[in-house]
Structure formats: structure tokens, C-alpha cells
């Protein structure tokens, strides 16, 4: 079939990919919206363990695309990889549903959940790196519609991310732990819709302008050729010695982080990869001075991106704890009925819809703003935009940190604190996320383009794992105090050292998933929410300040690319 779209319109294949990605993101973000709530309310994990599991899961989600992208490029092609990934993720969501259906046997429910998470991680590795790759293949070389095509595609991501917490959260986050399974089932159905629609529509609509199929495995000739139509080397050719050396460095770092720094194996693996892979690339002897300079810019900005996403991704962890326990979600005399449930308060999971809705509304305005500034030669460089993103992120935490300052554990904060913070975070994301992806594509030499994009996602993997580690510092609050008080246990006294817990009390607190010591950050106890949110306020502000200082130097290192 010939792709008959005119130069003014878009090929129908774009909307197939839009629909496929929208439902996949519905599945991912719907599950994520209720995941930590499921862990602490149904499986009775404490917040520290739930946070670390959340970080491990979301970190691995950004790590496995390196493997999935390699297999697609070498063997399967995009289409087969997307279908395999979609099926595996649907199975993973169904295993999460089964986990939620087995709460009468907590250990079996936990085991089923771990199998479900593993399937989601590996399935995402095949799905995520391949569907976006196909968007550009629908258009002729240098087609000006490609930028707007990715904008449309990005809207699909956020449309799915907007509706999923409302639906999966509305079904699962009802206050009854036995209802979480319905939220997971909705995520499973979303993934099935994504995969089935892709399967039946791919052959008819996913075609090049000349009518050739998009996303098929490379032919033997294409695999043997290492040169594109411009005569440029299209894949890296690392020496075995270099690969072996950096492989040993990776293993050494992983062991060091595991046993000397106290990281779990997943964290050690992610952080070691985030150091070793850039090392392998930057020491490649084929790089000339300009290429190496530009690649250093990617690595330096990737380092700052870790500060951004580790704070931003608190949305699915500590900020969900805050929404559930310390936010006044009451609707007063108003109530509404949905999915057969009558709600008198906003479910905590619904707050995760604020960010994607903000993206949908504000993204066109930011596009106009950058265009207006560009016409006047006033558009900030990529590093400066990213510094602004970090600053906006910090301001979001300023709002919530000072909003809760002086509030005791029995008082709940206004919902508007979360709304205001998420709005600032969304503006920060628009300054950083699409800018970063565009920057990598412009700065990366062709033969390292895929690997450097994978390295950029490695920074996201490290950030998500770090987000879980930092979320584990969330201090015990009203929810824990009330649960302990019902058992006749003076939890504040135990935490402050004025009361001594008996072995029976310690066992009960462990059963309830309640920690008996204040979390510590660089030797300082985190005893309240102001101190906790200040961590993100200060780290993101410091990163923004340093990047503001460095951005002129980085701009020079970009060698004429803005």
C-alpha cells in the first residue's frame, strides 16, 4: 500500500502509532499511579521498602530498552519487538491482577507481584525504544513534518498518562485493598488494546512514502553494510580490548557499590552501567576533537538530568504518600459516583493526572514561546533551558516545603499545594525533557546515535533508582502514629528516644510496616515533611545554579550546535 498522505497532512501510520503508544502509556502510568499504594495498603510494605522497590522497578524500565533496542536492530526489527513487548507487558499486568486477587495469602501475592514486575520490565525493554523509532521512518528524508509528527506522538503519551490514573485509580484506589486488582486489570486491558490494534493495523498503515513496510528486520545486505547513504559509518566498531576493559570496570564498580556503598544489586547494576557505558564511548579512538567535545556535553547534561528526574519522579512515590496521608482531599458536602463507588474525597492516585494534563495544555504555548524567542535571536541554548527546568522544579518544592512548614502531624495540607507544585514541575519538564532528547539527536555522531540515546536513558534509569532511595527518607507521620496508637504504642516517643519499645511492640510495628527510627540523610535525622522536601528543593536549586554557571562553556563545547 502506498502512503498517500500529502505534504500538508500526516500519514495514517502516525495515528496508528499514536493510538498504540497512548494505550501502552495508559497501562504503564495507570499501574504506577496505584503501585506504592498497593504495596503499603495491601501488601503491608513499609514506606522505605515500597520506595526502594518503586525505584528499582522504574529504574529497570529505563535500563532494558538498551537490550530491546539491540535485539530489534540485530534480529527482530521494530514490529516484532513491539508485539513481543506488548504481549509480555499484558502478561505482567495480568500477574499484577492475580497478585491483587490473592491477598488472603500475602506471600503468594508478593511472589506473583515480583513475576509481574519482571514481565513489565522486560516487555517495556522491547516496546519502548522501537515504537518512537518508527515515527520518523514514515516520512521522506528531511521532511519538515517530522517535528510536528513527534509533537502529535508526544500528545498521545500524555493523553494516556492523563486518563490512566483517573480510571485505574478510580477502580483500585477506593480505600479497600481488595479493589487494587481492578486497577491492575484495567491496565492489562489497556495493554491488550495497544497490542491488538497494532497487530491488525501495522501491515496496512505502517509504510514508507513509497509503500514499503516500516519496521521489518534488516536484510542480510543491510546487516553487512556499516555505511549509510551519505557514506557515514552507521554503527560503532569498538575493539574487543576496549569492551573487555570497560566490562571489567563495570563489574568492579558494581561490586564496590554493592558491598562498600551499601547499594542493592539492582542499584549497583544501574549506577555502574551509567558510568561504564559513557566511559566506553568517550574513550573510543575514532572520535575526533569536535565529536568528543559534543559528547562530553551530553554526558555533563545527563549528570544534571539525574538531579531533575530523581526529584520529579517523587510523584509516584513520596508525593503519593503525601497525597494520601497529609493532604486534605475532602470535597466538603460534594460527592460523586464513578465505577459504582461514591467518592467524598479525591483519590490520592488522581493527583498524578495533573502533570500530563499540564503538558497537553502548556506544550503548545512553550512551542510558541521558543519560536517567538528564536525569531528574535533570544532563544536560550539547550543547557540554559535545562537549567531553567531545574530551577522551576526547585520552586515547586519551595511551594510545598514552606506550605507544610510548622504543620503538625495531625493537620492536613491543602490540595492546592500539590496543584501548584505539579504545575511548576510540568513547566520544568517542558524546559528539560524534550529539549534534552532533541539535543542528544543533534550532538551525537551518527555511529553513536542509538548508543548515546541509550546512555541518556541510562541517566533516567539512575535517576529513577535514586528517586526510590530518596523517597525511602519520607518520615513517619500521622498515618503511622494513628496505626501505632490503636495498638497502644507510643510511636513518636519511640522515634524520639523517650520511650522504649518492647519486643512485642517491635514485632507489631514490623507487621504494620512501620519504621521505628527516623530516616537519616548525611547523618541528619529527617523528622518532618519540611526537612524532607527541603532535600529536593536544595539539590535541584544547586544543580540549576551550577548549570547556570557552566552553560556558556557548554555552549562553546557544542561547537556551533544550539
Residue spans of the domains in the chain: they are: 11-207, 239-283, 288-323+351-474+535-562
Domain 288-323+351-474+535-562 sits in CATH at 1.20.1250.20
* Closest residue by Cα to residue 22 from 356, 457, 350: 356
- pLDDT at residue 222 is higher than 90: no
Task: Give ∠ CA 370-371-372 in degrees, rounded to 5.
Answer: 90
pLDDT surpasses 60 at 476:
yes
- Joined grid coordinates for residue 346: 479525591
Q: For residue 204, with 0-12 CB atoms within 10 Å meaning exposed, 13-18 middle and 19 or more buried, which class applies?
A: exposed
* Residue whose entry in the numeric block shows the C-alpha cell 490473592: 102
Task: Give the residue carrying C-alpha cell 484495567.
Answer: 186
Q: Which residues contact 407 (CB under 8 A, 6 or more apart)?
A: 413, 529
- In a 10 Å sphere around its CB, with 0-12 CB exposed, 13-18 middle and 19+ buried, how is residue 560 labelled? exposed
Taking CA 55 as the corner, what is the angle to CA 180 and CA 42, rounded to the nearest 5 degrees?
25
Tens of pLDDT, residue by residue over 223-264, are 555 555 445 555 667 788 988 999 999 999 999 999 998 889
pLDDT value, residue 452: 83
Tell me which residue of 324, 296, 322, 273 sits closest to 59, measured CA to CA. Answer: 273
Backbone angles phi, psi at 505, to 5 degrees: -65, -40
Same fold across 11-207 and 288-323+351-474+535-562: yes
Cell of 18: 499514536
Question: For domain 11-207, which architecture applies?
Answer: Up-down Bundle (1.20)
The three cell numbers of residue 296 are 562530553
pLDDT band at 467 (very low <50, low <70, confident <90, very high): very high
Beta strands 413-414 and 327-328 are parallel
Residue 198 confidence class, pLDDT cut points 50, 70, 90:
very high
At residue 562, does pLDDT exceed 80?
no
**Is pLDDT at 409 greater than 90 in this prediction?**
no
At 6, the pLDDT band (50, 70, 90 cuts) reads very low
416 C-beta neighbours (distance < 10 Å), count: 12
Helices (H), 64-179: 65-71, 77-100, 106-137, 145-172
Task: Look at residues 318, 279, 276 and name the one whose alpha carbon lies nearest to residue 462.
Answer: 276
Angle (nearest 5°) at CA 494 between 491 and 500: 125
Please report, rounded to a whole number, the percentage of residues in the chain having pLDDT higher than 70: 93
| Predicted pLDDT at 233 | 57
- Which comes out higher in pLDDT, residue 374 or 180? 180
Which range, of 286-290, 444-448, 493-497, averages the lowest pLDDT? Answer: 444-448
Highest mean pLDDT: which range of 305-314, 374-383, 517-526: 305-314
The pLDDT value given to residue 559: 82
Q: What share of the chain is helix, strand, coil (3-state, %, to 5)?
A: 75, 5, 25
Closest by CA position to 294, among listed 307, 309, 281, 275: 281
Distance CA 539, CA 530 (A): 14
Q: What pLDDT is recorded for position 1?
A: 46
pLDDT of residue 480 exceeding 90, the answer is no
Question: At 520, phi and psi to the nearest 5?
Answer: -125, 145
> pLDDT tier at 129 (50, 70, 90 boundaries)?
confident
Cell of 74: 540485530
pLDDT of residue 149: 78
Q: Are 344 and 331 in contact (CB under 8 A)?
A: yes
| Res 22: pLDDT | 95
Least confident interval from 128-132, 274-278, 301-305, 346-350? 128-132
Distance in angstroms between the alpha carbons of the first and the last residue of the chain: 39
What is the DSSP-derived secondary structure letter of residue 379? Answer: P
Counting residues of the chain whose pLDDT is more than 90, the rounded percentage is: 53
Region 174-203: mean pLDDT is: 95
Q: Which residues 6+ apart lie within 8 Å of 414 measured at CB?
A: 327, 328, 403
- Average pLDDT of the chain, as a whole number: 88
Per-residue three-class SS string for 405-421: CCCCCCCCEEHHHHHHH
Contact indicator for 215, 77 with CB cutoff of 8 Å: yes
Tell me the per-residue pLDDT of 424-453, one tens digit each, with 9 for 90 and over.
999 999 888 877 777 777 788 877 777 787
Q: How far apart are CA 200 and CA 61, in angstroms?
A: 27
pLDDT value, residue 142? 65
> Is the separation of the CB atoms in 98 and 112 below 8 Å?
yes
Mean pLDDT lowest among 140-149, 436-445, 471-480, 535-544:
140-149
Which of 72-86, 239-253, 488-502: highest mean pLDDT? 239-253
pLDDT level of residue 338 (50, 70, 90 thresholds): confident
Residue 5 has pLDDT above 80, yes or no: no
Task: Tell me phi and psi for residue 344, to 5 degrees.
Answer: -110, 0
Residue 220's pLDDT band, with cuts at 50, 70 and 90, is low
Which range has the worst mean pLDDT, 259-268, 432-441, 453-462, 492-501?
A: 432-441
Amino acid at each position: 500500500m502506498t502512503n498517500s498522505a500529502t505534504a500538508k497532512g500526516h500519514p495514517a501510520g502516525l495515528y496508528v502509532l499514536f493510538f498504540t503508544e497512548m494505550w501502552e502509556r495508559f497501562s504503564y502510568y495507570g499501574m504506577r499511579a496505584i503501585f506504592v499504594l498497593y504495596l503499603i495498603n495491601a501488601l503491608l510494605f513499609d514506606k522505605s521498602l515500597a520506595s526502594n522497590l518503586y525505584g528499582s522497578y522504574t529504574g529497570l524500565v529505563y535500563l532494558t530498552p538498551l537490550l530491546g533496542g539491540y535485539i530489534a536492530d540485530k534480529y527482530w526489527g521494530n514490529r516484532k519487538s513491539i508485539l513481543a513487548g506488548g504481549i509480555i507487558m499484558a502478561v505482567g499486568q495480568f500477574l499484577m491482577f492475580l497478585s491483587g486477587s490473592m491477598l488472603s495469602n500475602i506471600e503468594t501475592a508478593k511472589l506473583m507481584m515480583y513475576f509481574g514486575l519482571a514481565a513489565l520490565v522486560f516487555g517495556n525493554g522491547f516496546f519502548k525504544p522501537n515504537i518512537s523509532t518508527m515515527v520518523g521512518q514514515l516520512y521522506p528524508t528531511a521532511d519538515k513534518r517530522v517535528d510536528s509528527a513527534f509533537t502529535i506522538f508526544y500528545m498521545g503519551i500524555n493523553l494516556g498518562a492523563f486518563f490512566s490514573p483517573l480510571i485505574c485509580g478510580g477502580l483500585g484506589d477506593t480505600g479497600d485493598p481488595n479493589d487494587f486488582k481492578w486497577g491492575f486489570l484495567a491496565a492489562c486491558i489497556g495493554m491488550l488494546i495497544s497490542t491488538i490494534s497494532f497487530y491488525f493495523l501495522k501491515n496496512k498503515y505502517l509504510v514508507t512514502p513509497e509503500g514499503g513496510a516500516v519496521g521489518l528486520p534488516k536484510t542480510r545486505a543491510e546487516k553487512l553494510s556499516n555505511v549509510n547513504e551519505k557514506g557515514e559509518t552507521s554503527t560503532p566498531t569498538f575493539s574487543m580490548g576496549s569492551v573487555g576493559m570497560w566490562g571489567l570496570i563495570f563489574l568492579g564498580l558494581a561490586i564496590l557499590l554493592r558491598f562498600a556503598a551499601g547499594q542493592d544489586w539492582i542499584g549497583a547494576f544501574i549506577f555502574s552501567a551509567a558510568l561504564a557505558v559513557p566511559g566506553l564511548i568517550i574513550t573510543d579512538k575514532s572520535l575526533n576533537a569536535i565529536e568528543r567535545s559534543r559528547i562530553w556535553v551530553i554526558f555533563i547534561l545527563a549528570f544534571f538530568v539525574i538531579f531533575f528526574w530523581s526529584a520529579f519522579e517523587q510523584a509516584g512515590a513520596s508525593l503519593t504518600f503525601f497525597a494520601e496521608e497529609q493532604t486534605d482531599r475532602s470535597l466538603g458536602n460534594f460527592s460523586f459516583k464513578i465505577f459504582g463507588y461514591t467518592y467524598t474525597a479525591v483519590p490520592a492516585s488522581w493527583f498524578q493526572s495533573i502533570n500530563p494534563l499540564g503538558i497537553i495544555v502548556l506544550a503548545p504555548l512553550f512551542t510558541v514561546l521558543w519560536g517567538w524567542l528564536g525569531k528574535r535571536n533570544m532563544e536560550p541554548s539547550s543547557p540554559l533551558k535545562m537549567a531553567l527546568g531545574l530551577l522551576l522544579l526547585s520552586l515547586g518544592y519551595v511551594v510545598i516545603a514552606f506550605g507544610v512548614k510548622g504543620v503538625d502531624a495531625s493537620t492536613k495540607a491543602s490540595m492546592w499545594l500539590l496543584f501548584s507544585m505539579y504545575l511548576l514541575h510540568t513547566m520544568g519538564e517542558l524546559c528539560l525533557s524534550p529539549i534534552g532528547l532533541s539535543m542528544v539527536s543533534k550532538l551525537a555522531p551518527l555511529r553513536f546515535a542509538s548508543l548515546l540515546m541509550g546512555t541518556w536513558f541510562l541517566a533516567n534509569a539512575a535517576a529513577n533508582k535514586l528517586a526510590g532511595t530518596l523517597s525511602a527518607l519520607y518520615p513517619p507521620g500521622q498515618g503511622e502514629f494513628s496505626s501505632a496508637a490503636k495498638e497502644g504504642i507510643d510511636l513518636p516517643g519511640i522515634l524520639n528516644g523517650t520511650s522504649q519499645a518492647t519486643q512485642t511492640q517491635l514485632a507489631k510495628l514490623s507487621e504494620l510496616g512501620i519504621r521505628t527510627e527516623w530516616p537519616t540523610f548525611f547523618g541528619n535525622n529527617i523528622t518532618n515533611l519540611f526537612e524532607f522536601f527541603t532535600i529536593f528543593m536544595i539539590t535541584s536549586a544547586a544543580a540549576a545554579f551550577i548549570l547556570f554557571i557552566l552553560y556558556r562553556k557548554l555552549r562553546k563545547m557544542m561547537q556551533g550546535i544550539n
